[in-house]
Amino acid sequence: MPSEPVTTMDSGSADTQAAPLSSAAPMALAAVDPGYYVERCELARGGMGQIIAARDLRLDRRVAIKELRVQSPELRARFEREVLLTARLQHPSIVNIHEAGRWPSGEPFYAMKLVAGRALDETVATAQNLSQRIALLPHVLAVADALAYAHQQRVIHRDLKPNNVLVGEFGETVVIDWGLAKDLQRTEDSVRRAALASEPDETCDGDVLGTPAYMPPEQALGETVDERADVYAIGALLYFVLAGVAPYSGTTTLEVLDAVLHGAPIPLDQREPGVAPDLLAIVRRAMARNAADRYPTARELAEDLRRFQAGQLVGAHHYSLSQLIRRWFSRHRTPIAVAAVALLALIVIGIASVAKIVRAERRATAQQVLAETSRAEAEQHRDFMLGDLRAKLEAVGKLQLLGDVAAEMKAYYARRPATRDPLERRQRAQAAHNLGDVLRERGDLAGAMREYHAGLAIRAALSAELTGSVDHRALADSHNRVGDVRVEQGNFAGALSAYQSAVAITRGLAAGDPANTTWTRDLALGHQKVGDVLLEQGAVAAALFEYEAGRDRLLPLVAREPENTGWLRGLSVMHENVSDALRAQGNLEPALVQQRAALAIAEKLVAREPENAVYLRDLAICHSKLGNLHRASNALDEALARYRTALGMSAALAERDPSNADWQRGVGIMRRKVGDVLLATGDRAGAVASYREALRIAEQLVARDGNNASWKKDLAGIRTDLSAIKD
């Protein structure tokens, strides 16, 4: 049974110090009929307001409603400022506001996303030991990322504490209660206008606000604070997660404030001796009493946490020679001679061609290929099948041939005894991933996830044992594959967690070798995948930020090597993603510029390799998205032409490999888009015919895997379209 959604409201609570606000004219909140919200139940109540759970009848969704019950100009100004600041922050780990208004009786309120889960302090309380608390580190990292985003928007929270962080049932982390947040940009503008006193959101020196146990000394003194106050609070949050208790305690608020002002907290390693020195160093730097000694930004704190998770050296810790030697030996448990052999073996690549593999597949099975050749040749085939074969078959549209080969390679390793040899373990992981790729292409998401997790477990163990980038990069790849399947299953919170794990590993690698273009490319891919999830969740501004960051990483690479097809394709995709986000914001002209840039690169790649199925699919998608932009601009003739071009290309690809569910779905999507435009231009019969073809494909895919959320969504949508025409 899911736990009760938890949201907290600290206005007027005993442990939060409020500061006076100057009065200001209230914002124009529209009156809202309370009848829109039914099935109400109280979640939390403070001295001046309350939070209730309710169901919004208009969109049939559960929400949390925060409302101000005590009427005064100062409190109303603070509440309205909270609404504006929170609504401005579009990030998956910051609570999302759906609506703001006032009841007919005058009380202001806002409705926000209802997070099913519990507060971080309750989550920590259930952890029975340090190992279980360390497993909660991703939530602290998510908070640091959210605050880094807020700081980029020039907003600081000023009241970060465990019960202002919600941990959802699906692993999501959400920072709530921005009632004490401060808009630094507005402060700067106000100072320049010499009108600070008229700003209702600013406090003056001497005011103390926040929660004492998690606030830095300068905040406890009522001094002006900046982003580094939140950095301290994140450090205090990390202290709490690792120790299980707050950095400071007392029987009254004044006792806690006095403790904060007169000295550092009990050292973390005294409270919990088992904490790694790296984490101790991160906490110490984040919670430095002098703001100048802390991490300058929340992003830098987040990067150090990522480096710790990835097994890299963290910037806050100064390693002794003995520590470095111990770390090196702990990661080199396999004898050096075996490691050398493994490294040499990785260099060996099979010389067999795709034609030879296909002929062998026609003669019998992949098992017979191994049986009919010499042992040395079989080893070459094995390496080739684990490496280049998938890309080569995908490029010629014959990925279905990989199915038997991948299954046989998995069975081959299953028959062999367990080994500690790194090379063979890497091959086992790759064999599992190859099979997972085939299963995913066929639409068997459960099977694909099973194989990906098997490969991920092997790679995680190798990364923990060995240094070097090979295994860490492979582990990031595993996390990305798991995230891809979770997206198709509709588990966007889980997908975001997987993608962020991959990005954390890659950032750790990039920190050790900033000039390595491989890490730059991988980080761009990470930005893209995180952006895709954010866009799906409706966080358009945050998605655009990720996409533009990915594009900007790739532009210098392409300028340096304009003929590098891998970088070119990546840049085309990033232009396309930026276009998607701009279109979602309604900025159609700049979206069209970005989409045309994507199309130009896609056409260039197809001109180089006219039979490359991957490039052809990219080009079809470009035409489809240009059609979307023309349709949004009501240029229906241009939209129909683009859609039909994309449909023709998609249908040709689907004929190459009927087992490829993704390509089949592409045909169905284009059939539906063509039907939409035909209907809009008055061609009802043509629209119905196109919709019926889309329905046939969607029904076939759902029959193949009824758990695929994307396919079920497609099927429901096309049925709705046909029903609307009949009505």
Tokens of 620: 């079809």
What's the whole-number average pLDDT of the chain? 80
As a CATH number, domain 34-309 is 1.10.510.10
Top mean-pLDDT range of 255-264, 357-366, 372-381, 641-650 = 641-650
Can you give 653-672 as a three-state secondary structure string? HHHHCCCCHHHHHHHHHHHH
Tens-place pLDDT, residues 485-499: 999 888 999 999 999
Phi and psi for 100 in degrees, rounded to 5?
-135, 145
Chain-centre distance for alpha carbon 262: 40
Buried b vs exposed e over 230-240: b needs ≥16 C-beta within 10 Å? bbbbbbbbbbb
246 has pLDDT over 50: yes
* 34-309 and 331-514 have identical folds: no
Segments in 65-136 forming alpha helices (H):
73-88, 120-126, 130-134
N-to-C CA span, the chain: 40
Distance in angstroms (rounded) separating the CA atoms of residues 389 and 107: 65
- In a 13 Å sphere around the CA of 363, the CA atoms on its Cβ side amount to 13
Strand partners, 118: 167
* Three-state DSSP class for residue 80: helix
* Three-state DSSP class for residue 295: coil
Q: How far is CA 303 from CA 430, 503, 579, in A?
A: 29, 10, 29
**Which long-range contacts link 608-616 to residues 24+ away (Cβ below 8 Å)?**
608/565, 609/395, 611/395, 611/396, 611/397, 612/395, 613/394, 613/395, 613/396, 613/397, 613/653, 613/656, 613/657, 614/394, 614/395, 614/569, 615/569, 616/649, 616/652, 616/653
- Residue identified by tokens 């449909």 is 647
Q: How far is CA 19 from CA 16, 226, 333, 370, in A?
A: 10, 17, 57, 76
Beta carbons of 695 and 722 less than 8 angstroms apart = yes
Beta carbons of 243 and 271 less than 8 angstroms apart = yes
CATH (one of 2.60.120.460, 1.10.10.10, 1.25.40.10, 3.30.200.20) for 331-514: 1.25.40.10
**Average pLDDT score over residue span 221-245:** 95
Residue 410 pLDDT level (bands cut at 50, 70, 90): low
Beta carbons of 630 and 606 less than 8 angstroms apart = no
The pLDDT of residue 386 is: 47
254 has pLDDT over 90: no
Beta carbons of 487 and 536 less than 8 angstroms apart = yes
Phi and psi for 55 in degrees, rounded to 5?
-110, 125
Top-confidence residue, 405 or 431: 431
Distance in angstroms (rounded) separating the CA atoms of residues 250 and 243: 17
Could you count the other beta carbons within 10 Å of the beta carbon of residue 415? 6
Strand partners, 441: none
Tens-place pLDDT, residues 447-471: 889 999 999 999 999 988 887 788 8
- Residue identified by tokens 């280049």 is 388
Candidates 570, 571, 565, 553; CA nearest to 516 is 553
Beta carbons of 310 and 511 less than 8 angstroms apart = no
Percent of the chain beyond pLDDT 70? 78
Distance in angstroms (rounded) separating the CA atoms of residues 380 and 286: 52
Tokens of 183: 């808009």
Residue type, 64: A
Candidates 468, 366, 462, 477; CA nearest to 423 is 462
Phi and psi for 613 in degrees, rounded to 5?
-65, -35
Cβ neighbours of residue 365 closer than 8 Å, sequence gap 6 or more: 404, 408
Distance in angstroms (rounded) separating the CA atoms of residues 631 and 672: 14
Distance in angstroms (rounded) separating the CA atoms of residues 540 and 706: 29
* Three-state DSSP class for residue 245: coil
What residue ranges in 133-289 does DSSP mark as E strands? 155-156, 165-168, 173-175, 182-183
Q: How far is CA 271 from CA 213, 242, 281, 357, in A?
A: 16, 9, 15, 61
The pLDDT of residue 469 is: 80
Distance in angstroms (rounded) separating the CA atoms of residues 598 and 577: 9
The pLDDT of residue 470 is: 85
Candidates 393, 401, 462; CA nearest to 427 is 462
Distance in angstroms (rounded) separating the CA atoms of residues 673 and 663: 16
Could you count the other beta carbons within 10 Å of the beta carbon of residue 8? 19
Tens-place pLDDT, residues 358-407: 444 444 444 444 444 434 444 444 444 445 555 555 554 555 555 555 66
Candidates 250, 255, 217; CA nearest to 233 is 217
- Find the helix or strand (DSSP H, E) in which 49 lies: strand 49-56
Tens-place pLDDT, residues 313-356: 555 655 444 444 444 444 444 433 444 333 333 333 333 444 44
The pLDDT of residue 408 is: 64
**Average pLDDT score over residue span 564-591:** 93
Phi and psi for 220 in degrees, rounded to 5?
-65, -30
Top-confidence residue, 484 or 370: 484
Percent of the chain beyond pLDDT 90? 46
Tokens of 545: 């930020």
The pLDDT of residue 375 is: 40
The pLDDT of residue 710 is: 81
Strand partners, 64: 53, 112
Distance in angstroms (rounded) separating the CA atoms of residues 374 and 379: 9
Distance in angstroms (rounded) separating the CA atoms of residues 466 and 461: 9
Distance in angstroms (rounded) separating the CA atoms of residues 241 and 227: 21
Cβ neighbours of residue 54 closer than 8 Å, sequence gap 6 or more: 37, 38, 39, 40, 41, 62, 63, 64, 65, 111
Buried b vs exposed e over 125-153: b needs ≥16 C-beta within 10 Å? eeeeebeebbebbbbbbbbbbbbbbbbeb
CATH (one of 1.25.40.10, 3.40.220.10, 3.30.565.10, 3.30.70.1400) for 609-727: 1.25.40.10
Phi and psi for 20 in degrees, rounded to 5?
-70, 150
Distance in angstroms (rounded) separating the CA atoms of residues 692 and 417: 52
Residue type, 645: T
* Three-state DSSP class for residue 54: strand
Top-confidence residue, 162 or 198: 162
Could you count the other beta carbons within 10 Å of the beta carbon of residue 339? 17
- Find the helix or strand (DSSP H, E) in which 232 lies: helix 227-243
Residue type, 650: S
Of 7-11, 201-205, 560-564, the least confident: 7-11
Top-confidence residue, 17 or 112: 112
Distance in angstroms (rounded) separating the CA atoms of residues 627 and 638: 7
Residue 253 pLDDT level (bands cut at 50, 70, 90): confident
Distance in angstroms (rounded) separating the CA atoms of residues 275 and 556: 41
The pLDDT of residue 405 is: 58
Top-confidence residue, 62 or 19: 62
Residue 666 pLDDT level (bands cut at 50, 70, 90): very high
Distance in angstroms (rounded) separating the CA atoms of residues 200 and 84: 12
Kindly list the domain boundaries of the chain, sorted by start residue: 34-309, 331-514, 609-727
Pairing state of beta strands 155-156 and 165-168? unpaired
